[in-house]
Amino acid sequence: MINYMKLIYSVFIILITSNIVMAQSVPAPEENIPYLVTFGANGDKSWGDDDFCQIFFFVVPKTQKSSVYFRVYDPGTGSSIDEKKGEFNTKTKFAVFGGTGCITNKDARGTDPKGKWYSGNILSHKIFGNEYVDDWYTFGPFNPTSGEYSKKYGGYVFKVSARGISGDDGNLYKYFMSTSSSSNVPVEGGNAFTFEYTFRLNDKPGEVSHVYPYIDSNVVSVKQGNFDWDNDGDLKIITNTRLSIPLQKSGDGDWGRSEHKVVEAEKESTFDVQFHKNKAAPAKNNNISFYITNQYGESMPFYTVPIGGIPKPKSVIRITKKK
């Protein structure tokens, strides 16, 4: 009995620890997304990036007292994972913001870099050409309180932007919020989210990627937009009550949009938006931009760790008569 209880405790600790680690990694393992992608300012939008700018928000809980760091894997352009167009010539500016307005400014929560999307205080920034390819660069240290406190988002919020300022290549990279400057040590209770996701899909046929928007109690319908899907398979939403809601798909360099009602039982839960890779003829190096808004046109956040967990529709029970 003692050994059995030890086994149960060990499994519990492993599950808790893995959930903490997933909270810090962007993209998260459960999303099954290889890399984020941002193209240079002169990039071709038909390659999958609709605005050459990507913004993520990181939440540091009030319980965190020691410094935090934001680490970027492969922030430069020129490695084997980056998407080359001609010769590599792209420069990308990464920046960290905190302070008043970082998240509460409406422009910061949009799907496009318009207005004062850069709101708040700029805490650090760096422009990368071909530096730090296949390597980590660390921003920080930052006092947790230098973020903007938000009760709605559960802690101090920092904004990290990646913006292509020149060139036309695709810069692929990852983030990790850490308590260490030299390794990936998770911030316990942290999370990350974005209002528009631009990412690289897997090349392998049949792979499924996921993003997880949270549906609050005021949402009665959602409108999704996907850019440059290249007809690369199926797009669908899974909820806690419905097994599959098909989405309007985009082709090459255009948008696919559709609106979907939200039933009462789906409120205050997470949707699982699934990107099913074409099994027969998958597109290679396919990048996509994706967002969801509510009935008022307000952008909804995608959390790397789904709030309330990944939705699991209730089983359908079929009763058959005995022969």
- C-alpha distances in Å from residue 320, one per residue of 25, 49, 122, 315, 317: 47, 51, 64, 16, 10
Percentage of the chain surpassing pLDDT 90?
A: 88
Share the mean pLDDT of the chain: 91
Please, which residues bridge with residue 293 across strands? Answer: 223, 299
- H helical segments located in 51-166: none
At position 160, the amino acid (one-letter code) is V
Q: Give the pLDDT band of residue 175 (cuts 50, 70, 90).
A: very high
Distance CA 255, CA 253 (A): 7
Q: DSSP 3-state assignment of 128?
A: strand
Reported as a single tens digit per residue, the pLDDT across 254-279 is 999 999 999 999 999 999 999 999 99
pTM (2 d.p.): 0.90
Q: Give the pLDDT band of residue 322 (cuts 50, 70, 90).
A: very low
Q: DSSP 3-state assignment of 109?
A: helix
pLDDT on residue 312: 86
* Average pLDDT score over residue span 141-159: 97
Q: Which residue has the tokens 């690289």?
A: 200
**Inter-residue contact 169 to 70 (CB < 8 Å):** no
Distance CA 33, CA 22 (A): 13
pLDDT on residue 318: 39
pLDDT on residue 49: 97
Reported as a single tens digit per residue, the pLDDT across 7-55 is 333 333 333 333 444 457 999 999 999 999 999 999 999 999 999 999 9
pLDDT on residue 249: 97
Q: Output the six-digit token pair for 42.
A: 């002169």
pLDDT on residue 23: 55
- Following DSSP, what letter does each residue of 222-256 receive, concatenated? EEEEEE--TT-EEEEEE-SS-S-EE-PPP-SSSEE
Distance CA 77, CA 91 (A): 7
Instruction: Give 78's DSSP letter.
Output: -
pLDDT on residue 15: 35
Reported as a single tens digit per residue, the pLDDT across 98-131 is 999 999 999 999 999 999 999 999 999 999 999 9
Q: Output the six-digit token pair for 257.
A: 């949009």
The contacts of residue 283 (CB under 8 Å, 6+ apart) are 201, 230, 232
Reported as a single tens digit per residue, the pLDDT across 57-78 is 999 999 999 999 999 999 999 9
* Cβ neighbour number for residue 80 with a 10 Å cutoff: 9
Q: Which domains does the chain have, with CATH numbers?
A: 34-200 (2.60.120.380), 202-314 (2.60.120)
* Cβ neighbour number for residue 20 with a 10 Å cutoff: 15
Whether residue 141 has a cis bond before it, omega within 30° of 0: yes
Instruction: Give 18's DSSP letter.
Output: H
* Average pLDDT score over residue span 294-321: 79
Whether residue 301 has a cis bond before it, omega within 30° of 0: no
